[in-house]
């Protein structure tokens, strides 16, 4: 991971208490302009950050795989869904399918996804900072500040606006 991206994660870790306070305030007050502010921050952050320089999400965590994701990936790989599950997935503590290993077995040495067109919905939507009703995923996004430098940067901007 590039040094400046790691610095964003380090800053989020250092400011964890402040980010938790901001998160709690946003959950409590549900500002009407939260989506607009978050989406603007998302756009600004992704003008500066290239996910291919990081791929920390693919290296450290697993998306949840839904049945449609499993079917799509099995078809892409030309195997049966049961073979895909047996080869790549396990159930987590809440019964969802997740990858058996990290990093993701579909991440290549240059941080490209080898199944990009068929990737799971959770990967398509990550890091979720551009979705509507952002207040609904504040806790998830706060956790993602530990994984994704872009989310860490978005939260720093939210902290400045709402603290």
List the one residue out of 55, 57, 90, 84 whose CA is nearest residue 68. 84
94-139 tens-digit pLDDT: 999 999 999 999 999 999 999 999 999 999 999 999 999 999 999 9
10 Å CB burial of residue 22 (0-12, 13-18, 19+) is buried
pLDDT at 150 over 80: yes
Where are the domains positioned within the chain? 3-15+33-58+127-162, 64-118
pLDDT tens-digit readout, 19-55: 999 999 999 999 999 999 999 999 999 999 999 999 9
Residue whose C-alpha is closest to residue 64's, from 103, 86, 90: 90
pLDDT at 2 over 90: no
Q: Indicate whether this model's pTM tops 0.85.
A: yes
The answer to whether 73 touches 122, Cβ cutoff 8 Å, is no
Between 157 and 163, whose confidence is greater? 157
pLDDT in tens, 111-122: 999 999 999 999
């Amino acid at each position: 991971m590039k040094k400046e991206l790691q610095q964003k994660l380090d800053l989020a870790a250092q400011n964890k208490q402040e980010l938790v306070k901001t998160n709690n305030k946003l959950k409590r007050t549900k500002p009407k302009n939260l989506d607009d502010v978050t989406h603007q921050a998302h756009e600004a952050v992704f003008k500066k950050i290239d996910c291919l320089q990081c791929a920390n999400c693919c290296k450290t965590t697993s998306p949840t795989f839904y049945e449609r994701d499993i079917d799509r990936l099995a078809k892409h790989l030309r195997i049966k869904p049961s073979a895909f599950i047996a080869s790549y997935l396990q159930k987590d503590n809440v019964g969802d399918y997740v990858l058996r290993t990290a990093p993701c077995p579909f991440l290549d040495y240059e941080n490209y996804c080898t199944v990009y067109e068929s990737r799971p919905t959770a990967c398509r939507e990550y890091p979720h900072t551009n979705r509507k009703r952002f207040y609904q995923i504040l806790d998830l996004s706060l956790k993602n500040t530990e994984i994704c430098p872009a989310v860490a940067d978005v939260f720093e901007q939210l902290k400045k606006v709402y603290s």
